[in-house]
Amino acid sequence: QLDYRFYDRTCPNLTRIVRFGVWSAILNETRMAASLLRLHFHDCIANGCDGSVLLDDTSTMKGEKNAPPNLNSARGFQVIDTIKTNVENACPATVSCADILTLVAREAVFLTGGPYWSLPLGRRDSLTSNSSDNQHIPSPFEPLENITAKFTSKGLDMNDMVVLSGGHTIGFAQCFTFKQRLFDFDGTGKPDPTIDASLLANLQSTCPNQDNSNTNLAPLDHVTPSKFDNMYFKNLVNNSGVLGSDQALMEDNTTASIVIGYSTLPLLFFSEFGASMAKLASVGVITGQEGEIRKDCKVVN
Ligand code: HEM
Ligand SMILES: [Ca+2]
Protein backbone atom coordinates (compact mmCIF):
# COMPACT_ATOMS: atom_id res chain seq x y z
CA GLN A 1 0.00 0.00 0.00
CA LEU A 2 3.03 2.28 0.12
CA ASP A 3 3.40 4.29 -3.07
CA TYR A 4 6.45 5.80 -4.78
CA ARG A 5 4.39 8.85 -5.80
CA PHE A 6 2.45 9.23 -2.59
CA TYR A 7 3.22 12.92 -1.98
CA ASP A 8 3.91 13.91 -5.61
CA ARG A 9 0.87 16.17 -5.71
CA THR A 10 0.32 16.91 -2.04
CA CYS A 11 3.90 17.77 -1.07
CA PRO A 12 6.12 18.04 -4.14
CA ASN A 13 9.02 19.67 -2.26
CA LEU A 14 9.14 17.07 0.50
CA THR A 15 12.44 15.47 -0.51
CA ARG A 16 14.12 18.87 -0.85
CA ILE A 17 12.87 20.05 2.54
CA VAL A 18 14.11 16.87 4.19
CA ARG A 19 17.46 17.02 2.42
CA PHE A 20 18.03 20.62 3.48
CA GLY A 21 17.12 19.80 7.08
CA VAL A 22 19.48 16.84 7.27
CA TRP A 23 22.23 18.76 5.48
CA SER A 24 21.97 21.65 7.96
CA ALA A 25 21.99 19.29 10.92
CA ILE A 26 25.09 17.43 9.68
CA LEU A 27 26.82 20.72 8.94
CA ASN A 28 26.24 21.65 12.57
CA GLU A 29 27.35 18.26 13.91
CA THR A 30 28.80 15.49 11.74
CA ARG A 31 27.67 12.73 14.09
CA MET A 32 24.02 13.66 13.59
CA ALA A 33 23.93 11.61 10.36
CA ALA A 34 24.63 8.48 12.39
CA SER A 35 22.17 9.36 15.12
CA LEU A 36 19.37 9.88 12.58
CA LEU A 37 20.09 6.60 10.81
CA ARG A 38 19.96 4.73 14.11
CA LEU A 39 16.73 6.46 15.11
CA HIS A 40 15.02 5.12 12.00
CA PHE A 41 16.35 1.60 12.67
CA HIS A 42 15.01 1.68 16.22
CA ASP A 43 11.65 3.03 15.06
CA CYS A 44 11.24 0.20 12.56
CA ILE A 45 12.44 -2.66 14.79
CA ALA A 46 10.18 -1.62 17.68
CA ASN A 47 6.58 -1.97 16.47
CA GLY A 48 7.27 -1.06 12.84
CA CYS A 49 8.20 2.19 11.07
CA ASP A 50 5.38 4.25 12.56
CA GLY A 51 7.16 7.11 14.31
CA SER A 52 6.53 5.49 17.70
CA VAL A 53 10.10 6.20 18.82
CA LEU A 54 9.42 9.93 18.47
CA LEU A 55 6.59 10.12 21.01
CA ASP A 56 7.26 11.65 24.41
CA ASP A 57 6.07 9.76 27.48
CA THR A 58 2.79 10.88 29.03
CA SER A 59 1.27 10.23 32.43
CA THR A 60 -0.47 7.19 30.98
CA MET A 61 2.04 6.05 28.39
CA LYS A 62 5.63 4.89 28.86
CA GLY A 63 7.03 4.84 25.33
CA GLU A 64 10.13 3.77 23.43
CA LYS A 65 11.99 7.08 23.62
CA ASN A 66 12.83 6.94 27.32
CA ALA A 67 13.29 3.20 27.65
CA PRO A 68 16.53 1.26 27.19
CA PRO A 69 18.35 1.14 24.82
CA ASN A 70 17.17 4.59 23.66
CA LEU A 71 17.35 6.30 27.05
CA ASN A 72 20.46 8.52 27.23
CA SER A 73 21.44 7.17 23.84
CA ALA A 74 19.01 7.90 20.99
CA ARG A 75 19.57 11.36 19.49
CA GLY A 76 18.26 13.58 16.73
CA PHE A 77 14.71 14.27 17.95
CA GLN A 78 15.22 18.02 17.64
CA VAL A 79 16.31 17.63 14.02
CA ILE A 80 13.13 15.69 13.22
CA ASP A 81 11.03 18.38 14.91
CA THR A 82 12.66 21.15 12.89
CA ILE A 83 12.15 19.29 9.62
CA LYS A 84 8.56 18.47 10.58
CA THR A 85 7.89 22.17 11.19
CA ASN A 86 9.24 23.05 7.76
CA VAL A 87 7.21 20.27 6.14
CA GLU A 88 4.05 21.43 7.96
CA ASN A 89 4.60 24.97 6.71
CA ALA A 90 4.83 23.74 3.12
CA CYS A 91 2.19 20.99 3.27
CA PRO A 92 0.02 21.14 6.42
CA ALA A 93 -1.32 17.92 7.93
CA THR A 94 -0.10 15.82 5.03
CA VAL A 95 3.19 14.08 5.71
CA SER A 96 3.62 11.55 8.52
CA CYS A 97 6.49 11.64 11.00
CA ALA A 98 7.19 8.01 10.09
CA ASP A 99 7.76 8.97 6.43
CA ILE A 100 9.89 11.95 7.46
CA LEU A 101 12.11 9.73 9.62
CA THR A 102 12.43 7.22 6.77
CA LEU A 103 13.44 9.94 4.29
CA VAL A 104 15.78 11.50 6.85
CA ALA A 105 17.70 8.22 7.24
CA ARG A 106 18.17 7.95 3.49
CA GLU A 107 19.49 11.51 3.23
CA ALA A 108 21.79 10.99 6.24
CA VAL A 109 23.43 8.02 4.50
CA PHE A 110 23.63 9.78 1.14
CA LEU A 111 25.06 13.02 2.54
CA THR A 112 27.86 11.16 4.32
CA GLY A 113 28.96 9.46 1.11
CA GLY A 114 26.70 6.42 1.03
CA PRO A 115 24.18 5.08 -1.46
CA TYR A 116 20.75 6.43 -2.37
CA TRP A 117 17.68 4.28 -2.89
CA SER A 118 14.06 4.78 -3.80
CA LEU A 119 11.39 4.61 -1.14
CA PRO A 120 7.67 4.12 -1.39
CA LEU A 121 5.81 6.44 1.01
CA GLY A 122 2.48 6.66 2.78
CA ARG A 123 3.36 5.42 6.27
CA ARG A 124 1.00 6.63 8.98
CA ASP A 125 1.93 7.56 12.55
CA SER A 126 1.14 5.39 15.54
CA LEU A 127 -1.28 6.51 18.23
CA THR A 128 0.82 4.94 20.98
CA SER A 129 4.33 3.91 21.91
CA ASN A 130 5.18 1.08 24.26
CA SER A 131 8.51 0.79 26.06
CA SER A 132 8.28 -3.00 25.96
CA ASP A 133 8.57 -2.96 22.15
CA ASN A 134 12.24 -2.02 22.67
CA GLN A 135 12.92 -5.64 23.59
CA HIS A 136 13.09 -6.29 19.85
CA ILE A 137 16.07 -3.97 19.43
CA PRO A 138 19.28 -6.03 19.31
CA SER A 139 21.73 -5.67 22.19
CA PRO A 140 25.53 -5.65 21.78
CA PHE A 141 25.72 -8.12 24.69
CA GLU A 142 23.64 -10.90 23.19
CA PRO A 143 24.88 -13.75 20.99
CA LEU A 144 24.70 -13.63 17.21
CA GLU A 145 21.94 -16.25 17.09
CA ASN A 146 19.65 -14.01 19.18
CA ILE A 147 20.39 -10.97 17.04
CA THR A 148 19.72 -12.99 13.89
CA ALA A 149 16.41 -14.13 15.37
CA LYS A 150 15.42 -10.53 16.11
CA PHE A 151 15.97 -9.62 12.47
CA THR A 152 14.24 -12.68 11.04
CA SER A 153 11.21 -12.10 13.27
CA LYS A 154 10.81 -8.80 11.38
CA GLY A 155 11.15 -10.42 7.96
CA LEU A 156 14.80 -9.44 7.59
CA ASP A 157 17.17 -12.27 6.70
CA MET A 158 20.79 -12.93 7.59
CA ASN A 159 22.05 -10.97 4.60
CA ASP A 160 19.91 -7.98 5.60
CA MET A 161 21.32 -8.21 9.11
CA VAL A 162 24.94 -8.23 7.94
CA VAL A 163 24.54 -5.47 5.37
CA LEU A 164 22.52 -3.24 7.72
CA SER A 165 25.15 -3.71 10.42
CA GLY A 166 27.30 -1.75 7.96
CA GLY A 167 25.43 1.27 9.36
CA HIS A 168 28.14 1.14 12.02
CA THR A 169 30.50 2.64 9.44
CA ILE A 170 29.44 5.99 10.96
CA GLY A 171 28.76 7.14 14.49
CA PHE A 172 29.85 6.50 18.04
CA ALA A 173 29.29 4.11 20.91
CA GLN A 174 29.49 4.74 24.64
CA CYS A 175 32.25 2.81 26.40
CA PHE A 176 29.87 0.73 28.50
CA THR A 177 28.56 -0.94 25.33
CA PHE A 178 31.89 -2.71 24.68
CA LYS A 179 34.10 -2.13 27.74
CA GLN A 180 33.98 -5.67 29.07
CA ARG A 181 35.86 -6.68 25.91
CA LEU A 182 38.74 -4.41 26.93
CA PHE A 183 39.34 -5.57 30.49
CA ASP A 184 37.27 -8.57 31.46
CA PHE A 185 36.25 -10.62 28.47
CA ASP A 186 33.85 -13.43 29.45
CA GLY A 187 34.95 -13.14 33.09
CA THR A 188 38.60 -13.92 32.26
CA GLY A 189 39.93 -10.69 33.76
CA LYS A 190 41.71 -10.17 30.44
CA PRO A 191 40.91 -8.39 27.17
CA ASP A 192 39.21 -10.19 24.32
CA PRO A 193 42.21 -11.97 22.77
CA THR A 194 40.88 -11.39 19.26
CA ILE A 195 40.92 -7.55 19.32
CA ASP A 196 43.66 -5.97 17.23
CA ALA A 197 46.40 -4.81 19.62
CA SER A 198 46.61 -1.19 18.54
CA LEU A 199 42.83 -0.74 18.54
CA LEU A 200 42.74 -2.32 22.01
CA ALA A 201 45.29 0.18 23.33
CA ASN A 202 43.33 3.00 21.75
CA LEU A 203 39.99 1.92 23.19
CA GLN A 204 41.53 1.33 26.62
CA SER A 205 42.76 4.89 26.69
CA THR A 206 39.34 6.25 25.62
CA CYS A 207 37.60 3.94 28.08
CA PRO A 208 39.74 3.49 31.18
CA ASN A 209 38.74 0.69 33.52
CA GLN A 210 36.65 2.78 35.90
CA ASP A 211 32.96 3.57 36.03
CA ASN A 212 33.35 7.23 35.18
CA SER A 213 34.40 6.32 31.63
CA ASN A 214 31.12 4.53 30.85
CA THR A 215 29.64 7.34 28.78
CA ASN A 216 32.83 8.32 26.95
CA LEU A 217 32.52 7.88 23.21
CA ALA A 218 34.51 5.83 20.70
CA PRO A 219 33.86 5.68 16.95
CA LEU A 220 32.26 2.46 15.75
CA ASP A 221 34.54 2.66 12.70
CA HIS A 222 37.86 3.93 14.01
CA VAL A 223 39.29 4.53 10.52
CA THR A 224 36.60 6.62 8.76
CA PRO A 225 34.03 7.44 11.49
CA SER A 226 32.13 10.09 9.57
CA LYS A 227 32.28 8.61 6.08
CA PHE A 228 29.70 6.12 4.89
CA ASP A 229 31.94 3.53 3.23
CA ASN A 230 32.73 -0.18 3.56
CA MET A 231 35.49 0.36 6.16
CA TYR A 232 33.32 -1.22 8.87
CA PHE A 233 33.62 -4.55 7.04
CA LYS A 234 37.36 -4.14 6.46
CA ASN A 235 37.70 -3.48 10.19
CA LEU A 236 35.88 -6.70 11.03
CA VAL A 237 38.20 -8.66 8.75
CA ASN A 238 41.10 -7.01 10.62
CA ASN A 239 39.72 -7.89 14.07
CA SER A 240 38.95 -4.23 14.65
CA GLY A 241 35.24 -4.30 15.32
CA VAL A 242 34.29 -2.27 18.40
CA LEU A 243 31.11 -3.94 19.63
CA GLY A 244 31.28 -7.62 20.54
CA SER A 245 28.17 -8.10 18.41
CA ASP A 246 29.96 -6.55 15.41
CA GLN A 247 33.06 -8.71 15.67
CA ALA A 248 30.83 -11.77 16.20
CA LEU A 249 29.85 -11.53 12.52
CA MET A 250 33.29 -13.02 11.80
CA GLU A 251 32.73 -16.02 14.06
CA ASP A 252 30.02 -17.66 11.95
CA ASN A 253 31.03 -18.97 8.52
CA THR A 254 27.96 -17.67 6.70
CA THR A 255 28.07 -14.13 8.08
CA ALA A 256 31.88 -14.02 7.81
CA SER A 257 31.76 -14.76 4.10
CA ILE A 258 29.22 -11.98 3.58
CA VAL A 259 31.44 -9.58 5.57
CA ILE A 260 34.48 -10.52 3.49
CA GLY A 261 32.48 -9.89 0.31
CA TYR A 262 31.49 -6.36 1.38
CA SER A 263 35.03 -5.65 2.58
CA THR A 264 36.30 -6.06 -0.98
CA LEU A 265 33.24 -4.94 -2.99
CA PRO A 266 32.13 -1.46 -1.87
CA LEU A 267 29.56 -1.10 -4.64
CA LEU A 268 27.97 -4.41 -3.75
CA PHE A 269 27.71 -3.16 -0.17
CA PHE A 270 26.13 0.09 -1.34
CA SER A 271 23.52 -1.51 -3.56
CA GLU A 272 22.57 -4.16 -1.01
CA PHE A 273 22.51 -1.64 1.84
CA GLY A 274 19.98 0.42 -0.11
CA ALA A 275 17.86 -2.61 -0.87
CA SER A 276 17.87 -3.75 2.77
CA MET A 277 17.13 -0.24 4.04
CA ALA A 278 14.06 -0.14 1.79
CA LYS A 279 13.06 -3.51 3.24
CA LEU A 280 13.65 -2.27 6.81
CA ALA A 281 11.56 0.81 6.01
CA SER A 282 8.54 -1.35 5.20
CA VAL A 283 8.58 -3.36 8.43
CA GLY A 284 5.24 -3.16 10.24
CA VAL A 285 4.07 0.01 8.52
CA ILE A 286 0.52 1.24 8.96
CA THR A 287 -1.23 2.81 5.98
CA GLY A 288 -4.59 3.98 4.66
CA GLN A 289 -6.93 5.08 7.43
CA GLU A 290 -4.96 3.47 10.26
CA GLY A 291 -3.10 5.68 12.73
CA GLU A 292 -2.87 9.38 11.91
CA ILE A 293 -0.73 12.14 10.45
CA ARG A 294 0.75 13.64 13.60
CA LYS A 295 0.93 17.44 13.72
CA ASP A 296 3.80 17.33 16.20
CA CYS A 297 6.00 14.24 16.10
CA LYS A 298 6.33 14.19 19.91
CA VAL A 299 2.61 13.91 20.71
CA VAL A 300 -0.47 12.26 19.27
CA ASN A 301 -3.00 14.71 17.84
C1 HEM B 1 22.93 -5.79 14.45
C2 HEM B 1 22.55 -5.40 15.65
C3 HEM B 1 22.91 -4.07 16.23
C4 HEM B 1 23.38 -3.85 17.47
C5 HEM B 1 23.63 -4.89 18.55
C6 HEM B 1 23.62 -2.43 17.60
C7 HEM B 1 24.09 -1.82 18.73
C8 HEM B 1 24.48 -0.49 18.80
C9 HEM B 1 25.04 0.12 19.97
C10 HEM B 1 25.29 -0.56 21.30
C11 HEM B 1 25.33 1.41 19.65
C12 HEM B 1 25.93 2.46 20.58
C13 HEM B 1 24.81 3.10 21.38
C14 HEM B 1 25.32 3.97 22.51
O15 HEM B 1 26.52 3.99 22.76
O16 HEM B 1 24.51 4.66 23.17
C17 HEM B 1 24.95 1.61 18.28
C18 HEM B 1 25.09 2.78 17.58
C19 HEM B 1 24.72 2.95 16.29
N20 HEM B 1 23.99 2.06 15.52
FE21 HEM B 1 23.67 0.12 15.94
N22 HEM B 1 23.29 -1.82 16.43
C23 HEM B 1 22.84 -2.78 15.55
C24 HEM B 1 22.36 -2.56 14.27
C25 HEM B 1 22.31 -1.34 13.65
C26 HEM B 1 21.68 -1.09 12.38
C27 HEM B 1 20.94 -2.13 11.55
C28 HEM B 1 21.87 0.23 12.10
C29 HEM B 1 21.42 1.03 10.90
C30 HEM B 1 21.19 0.54 9.71
C31 HEM B 1 22.63 0.79 13.19
C32 HEM B 1 23.07 2.08 13.25
C33 HEM B 1 23.79 2.62 14.30
C34 HEM B 1 24.44 3.91 14.23
C35 HEM B 1 24.51 4.80 13.00
C36 HEM B 1 25.01 4.13 15.49
C37 HEM B 1 25.75 5.39 15.97
C38 HEM B 1 24.73 6.38 16.51
C39 HEM B 1 25.30 7.70 17.00
O40 HEM B 1 26.49 7.98 16.85
O41 HEM B 1 24.50 8.48 17.56
N42 HEM B 1 22.84 -0.18 14.12
N43 HEM B 1 24.41 0.43 17.79
CA1 LIG C 1 33.20 4.69 7.72
Mean pLDDT of the chain: 98
Q: For ligand 1, atom 11, which residue shows the shortest CA distance?
A: 173
CA distance 101 to 108: 10
Buried b (16+ CB within 10 A) or exposed e, 238-268: ebbbbbbbbbbbbebeebbebbebbbeeeee
Please tell me if the CB atom of residue 166 comes closer than 6 angstroms to any atom of ligand 1.
no
Q: Is 255 in the pocket of ligand 1 (CB under 6 A)?
A: no
pLDDT at 200: 98
Q: 226 lies in a domain?
A: yes
Same structural domain for residues 130 and 185? no
What pLDDT was estimated at residue 100?
99
Question: Could you report the predicted ipTM of this complex, rounded to two decimals?
Answer: 0.99
Q: Output the pLDDT for position 270.
A: 99
Domain count, the chain: 2
In a domain, 157, yes or no: yes
Single residue among 88, 114, 137 that ends a domain in this structure: 137
Q: How far is CA 191 from CA 203, 221, 258, in A?
A: 11, 19, 27
Are 180 and 251 in a shared domain? yes
Q: Please report, for residues 3, 11, 97, 103, 279, the alpha-carbon distance to residue 118 in angstroms, rounded to integers and kept in the order given.
A: 11, 17, 18, 10, 11
Q: What is the pLDDT of residue 196?
A: 98
> Nearest CA to 43 among 122, 110, 119, 105?
105
Polymer length of the chain: 301
Which pLDDT does position 295 carry in this prediction? 98
pLDDT value, residue 22: 99
Query: In the annotation, is 40 catalytic?
Result: no
Residue 124's domain spans which residues?
Answer: 14-137
Phi first, then psi, for residue 71 (nearest 5°) are -55, 130
Q: pTM higher than 0.90 for the full model? A: yes
The answer to whether position 102 is within a domain reads yes
Does any ligand 1 atom lie closer than 6 A to the CB of residue 207? no
38 part of a folded domain: yes
Residue 168 annotated as binding? yes
Mean pLDDT of 151-162: 98
